[in-house]
Structure 1
């Protein structure tokens, strides 16, 4: 993926340098690659922080220890929550992570490259459940983030809310009775409405 991205950056530098004259500018390429690497470092740090938050929540509510049938991690890339899950669930628990982006291989977990808003994703989940004799997931996780670029805060919030709604739909279908749904909710103008909708399908909020 990194090699592909560098190729794309190089092409953009050739097309965009010297007024679009097609002159290769190595300074532009190096600067762009450094920017991309910094971006990936920020993403890795953010993933580590949210994984730590998940561990803190588990220390309080012990939802991993009670997840014996399965854990479903939505918008899972780069895989921080999956790594935590594999380490803390009982042996033999099915751990599935789903994301549009590729997830690096994680021993003890299954990675799926799917769009959680599409019917194909639901079909894939059902197939994995049948293959591993999983009737329902004891735990569903969501730590999705927006991929909107620029300063469009409202567009980013709308995308996060859409991810949240799609994850709730999957949770209501695949979550076991008395199972646990762990998510984050944006404090936007829709915050109260989102919590109201969540209370209609989840019996306890903390």
Structure 2
């Protein structure tokens, strides 16, 4: 499991004071650039000197220095994300200027270091790609379906009772899809079809 990419379980934050400037890193798991933008809008402090950020979702990423010298804030935050192998995450580092200039190297260390420590301290979980499928079973087969599919880490999201049986919507790890197809065919003696929804 350790070679799987990871994301955060929930939002996290870490604060650091560097030569009278205050740096606050706030990170959260995200699934889309819209979620990343919403988090950045929510946690950015208009009264702060700078709200610098970076996010990565798969091969897509963005970063912003928010007025700091080029390459001293957004890129070090992104490097903190990448160096820890974290994906589907956004990090905002807010700075309140304390009157002492830090220089380019000092800024990069402060932004990158605050972001890295925030991510290091956050609870993380492996990213497991999931697939939704639909299938049907008879009323008599329902409990068997539930028990056998649970062994594949599948979750029945919806069960719609109809006159001739139950229409199921199931979410399971993408890597278990082929096993689920075989198992459903066996349990229904070939009567139940599997339709991949996403």
TM range (shorter): under 0.3
Which one has the bigger strand percentage?
2
TM-score by length of 1: 0.26
Q: 1 or 2 for the larger relative contact order (CA 8 Å, sep ≥6)?
A: 2
Which one has the bigger helix percentage?
1
